[in-house]
Amino acid sequence: MIRVVDPGPQTTVQDGGRRGQMRYGIPPSGPVDARSFALANRLVGNADGAAALEFTLVGPRFRAEAPCAIAVTGADSPVTVNDAPAASWTTLELAAGDAVKIGPVRAGVRGYVAFAGGVDVPPVLGSRSTYLRGRVGGLEGRALRRDDVLRLGAAPRARRRAVPASAIPGWRDTPVLRVVLGPQADRFTDEGIAAFLGGVYEVLPQSDRMGARLHGPRIAHARGHDIISDGIALGAVQVPGDGQPIVLLVDRQSTGGYTKIATVCSFDIPRVGQVKPGQRVRFTAVDVAEAQRLSRVASADIANVELQEIAS
Amino acid sequence: MRFLPAGDLALSVELGDDISVDVNTRVRALEFLIDQKALPGVVETVPTYRALLVYYDPAVIGYEPLCASLATLVEQASATAMPPAREVELPCCYGGELGPDLEAAARRLDLGVDELVRLHASAEYLVYFIGFTPGLPYMTGAPPQLTIPRLDTPRVKVPASSVAIGGIQCCVYSVESPGGFWLLGRTPLRLYDPGLAEPILLRPGDRVRFRAVERPEFDDIAARVAAGASRPVIR
* Domain residue spans of chain B: 2-81, 87-234
pLDDT of B221 above 70: yes
A112 at interface of B, judged by CB pairs closer than 8 A: no
- Chain pair A-B, CB pairs under 8 angstroms: 149
Q: What angle do CA A221, A224, A228 make, to 5 degrees?
A: 120
pLDDT of B230 above 90: no
* pTM, to two decimals: 0.94
State which fold the B2-81 domain adopts: Gyrase A; domain 2 (3.30.1360)
Q: How far apart are CA B120 and CA B112, in angstroms?
A: 12
Q: How far apart are CA B184 and CA B116, in angstroms?
A: 9
Q: In A26-155, where does DSSP find H-type helix?
A: 34-43
A246 at interface of B, judged by CB pairs closer than 8 A: no
A158 pLDDT tier (thresholds 50, 70, 90): confident
Better pLDDT: A141 or A158? A141
CATH of A176-303, one of 3.40.50.300, 2.40.100.10, 1.10.486.10, 3.40.109.10: 2.40.100.10
**B52, closest residue in chain A (CA to CA):** A231
Burial class of residue B80, CB neighbours in 10 A (0-12, 13-18, 19+): exposed
Better pLDDT: A226 or B65? B65
Give tens-digit pLDDT for B80-93. Answer: 889 899 999 999 99
B130 at interface of A, judged by CB pairs closer than 8 A: yes
Q: How far apart are CA B230 and CA A288, in angstroms?
A: 49
Whether B87-234 and B2-81 are alike in CATH topology: the answer is no
Average pLDDT score, chain A: 96
Q: In A9-90, where does DSSP find H-type helix?
A: 34-43
Q: How far apart are CA B103 and CA B183, in angstroms?
A: 10
Contacts of B203 in chain A (CB under 8 A): 24
B178 at interface of A, judged by CB pairs closer than 8 A: no
Contacts of A133 in chain B (CB under 8 A): 133, 175
B198 at interface of A, judged by CB pairs closer than 8 A: no
Give tens-digit pLDDT for B209-220. Answer: 999 999 999 999
**B136, closest residue in chain A (CA to CA):** A25
pLDDT of B55 above 80: yes
Per-residue model confidence (pLDDT) at position B232: 79
Determine the straight-line distance between the first and last CA of chain A, rounded to whole angstroms.
24
Per-residue model confidence (pLDDT) at position B27: 97
> How does DSSP assign A226-282, residue by residue?
EEEEEE--TTEEE--TT---EEE-TT--SEEEE-EEEEE-GGGHHHHTTPPTT-EEE
Contacts of A289 in chain B (CB under 8 A): 62-63
**B9, closest residue in chain A (CA to CA):** A266
Residue B227 CB: number of other CB atoms within 10 A? 8
pLDDT of A312 above 70: no
Q: Name which CATH class applies to B87-234.
A: mainly beta
Q: How far apart are CA A302 and CA A167, in angstroms?
A: 9
Contacts of A130 in chain B (CB under 8 A): none
Q: Looking at chain A, which residues constitute the CATH 2.40.100.10 domain(s)?
A: 176-303
A56 at interface of B, judged by CB pairs closer than 8 A: no
A207 at interface of B, judged by CB pairs closer than 8 A: no
Q: How far apart are CA A308 and CA A285, in angstroms?
A: 36
ipTM, two decimals, is 0.95
Give tens-digit pLDDT for A173-225. Answer: 999 999 999 999 999 999 999 999 999 999 999 999 999 999 999 999 998 88
